[in-house]
Amino acid sequence: MNPVRYIITRPCLQEGSLRLLKYVQPLFPESGPAQFVDDRGTEHAVQVDREGGRVWGLGRLFHDLHLGVNDVLTITPLAPGRYQVEATVKPHAAPPPPERSLTPKKPEPRRIVVSSTPHVREVRLEQPQPTAPAQKPVEKATPRPTPEADAPTPTPLVPVQKAAPLQPAPAVPAPAPVSRTAPPAPLPTSLEGQLIELARLTGYRLDFPAQAVARLRAELGEHGYEVHLALSESGMRSPAWQKGADYAAVLTTEAERPQGVSRLTREALVALIEHARLAPLSPIDLRGYWKAGNLDLETAASVAELVGAHLAQRGAFSFVLLTLASSPAHSVIHAGRLAEKLGSGVNTAELNSILDTLTRAPFLALTPLPGGQYLLRGDVRGLLADLAEYADGVRRRLRAPAGEKRTDTTLVNA
């Protein structure tokens, strides 16, 4: 049997498991214990759960091989219940040099002599205003100190009077940082919450035309359709369940198999939400599954393959970018040598497609040259920063209220 490449996802890392997707299932024909042998010869005991659709017990292997999201695990069967595993870890770009702080150093408080005698001197600490010139303090007239009084005096004899607190200058609030690594929100536990989450992630419009009946509308013009879900037996008896529906299904559990009607299982509903959180899913992607009439965990595993393909493409794209980051700006990239660096992580067809994408807007990272060569137009980190600035400019324009005058100069020809 040929080796299988498996793309590691965040749920895999969190649970220490692999999902038995349809293309992975032939590797594990039976439930029970198995052995994974990594490229260092270390054996890892795992448990195959065919019914649950998982291989458990991989937490230590993921840790030992330093695997992360979108890394690749190649699984090769050696004997029944024994498998060789090899990891392809995406390289990480070198960390950026520490940025010099642009925050000006806080001015030191000044010591101002209020009055003095040959033995005692009164001083006041005054904090300079950073944003406006300090006003001259209003003080009572005091005799001008003599040069002898300005001479240093023993520290124990100098009582320091605290200055009155100054009014702080108005602070300009900094923009709140946008978190890119925030953990996903917990999965809703109520049925209504799960339906709302599925509709939000996949682009359906959800409403409830009758009691115990939910309607998912794909408003896509000539490609649009409606799915009506009976949420209970009373929903099946409602005239609104099938009226005007392109597809009608009953919400059940995996153990329930009603005859003569299509079904959506609660377990599959949760799985679809998890898949849609990993990669975009649309009503176009799901239409065939509604048409097939039995959306259960087995069907959801097929959706997982689609999501896995999306993640694999994204991972390959990131792999190429991170590898290009090791080359200096304005250098010539040889596609053949780049393929050697990438190894088995990206095949030739994927590499050519990615390089072609990087030559076009909005990336414009590469300029094609004869002989399968490319000019790297700039440092990859800088190119990504420019792309992020461009995307942020588009985002700000999308969020601007209608009719508002736009003066954003960071967006060119958007």
Model pLDDT for residues 179-204, shown as the tens digit of each residue:
334 456 778 889 999 999 999 999 99
Asked if residues 212 and 235 have their Cβ atoms less than 8 Å apart, the reply is: yes
Q: How far is CA 257 from the centre of its chain?
A: 38
pTM of the model: 0.51
Strand partners, 48: 32, 55
Under DSSP, is residue 87 helix (H, G, I), strand (E, B) or coil?
Answer: strand
Highest mean pLDDT among 157-161, 245-249, 300-304, 350-354: 245-249
Q: Which range has the worst mean pLDDT, 182-191, 215-224, 256-265, 317-326? A: 182-191
- Domain(s) labelled CATH 1.10.10 in the chain stretch across 327-393
Q: Which range has the worst mean pLDDT, 84-98, 112-126, 243-257, 365-379? A: 112-126
Q: For residue 398, what pLDDT is reported?
A: 86
- Domain(s) labelled CATH 2.40.330.10 in the chain stretch across 4-88
**Is domain 327-393 given the CATH code 1.10.10 in the classification?**
yes
Q: For residue 359, what pLDDT is reported?
A: 94
Highest mean pLDDT among 12-21, 205-214, 400-409: 205-214
Model pLDDT for residues 385-413, shown as the tens digit of each residue:
999 999 988 988 886 555 544 444 444 44
Nearest CA-CA partner of 25 in 406, 398, 301, 337: 301
d(CA 235, CA 9): 37
Q: For residue 122, what pLDDT is reported?
A: 55
- What is the arithmetic mean of pLDDT over 211-222? 94
Asked if residues 242 and 248 have their Cβ atoms less than 8 Å apart, the reply is: yes
Confidence of residue 364 (pLDDT cuts 50, 70, 90): very high
**Is domain 4-88 given the CATH code 3.40.930.10 in the classification?**
no
pLDDT at 344 over 90: no
Distances (CA, A) of 39 to 17, 75, 87, 342: 19, 11, 8, 18
- Name the percent of the chain lying above pLDDT 70: 73
d(CA 260, CA 271): 24
- What is the arithmetic mean of pLDDT over 241-259? 92
pLDDT at 172 over 80: no
Q: For residue 16, what pLDDT is reported?
A: 87
State the Rg of the chain over Cα. 33
Q: For residue 111, what pLDDT is reported?
A: 54
Model pLDDT for residues 110-132, shown as the tens digit of each residue:
555 555 554 445 555 555 555 54
Confidence of residue 151 (pLDDT cuts 50, 70, 90): very low
Beta carbons within 10 angstroms of residue 130's beta carbon: 12
Model pLDDT for residues 257-311, shown as the tens digit of each residue:
888 899 999 999 998 998 898 888 999 999 998 998 888 888 888 888 778 777 7
- What is the arithmetic mean of pLDDT over 242-253? 93
Q: For residue 369, what pLDDT is reported?
A: 94
Q: In terms of pLDDT, which residue wins out, 317 or 70?
A: 317
Confidence of residue 239 (pLDDT cuts 50, 70, 90): very high
Nearest CA-CA partner of 281 in 254, 259, 258, 300: 300
The kind and range of the H/E element at 290 are helix 283-292
Nearest CA-CA partner of 320 in 361, 350, 359: 350
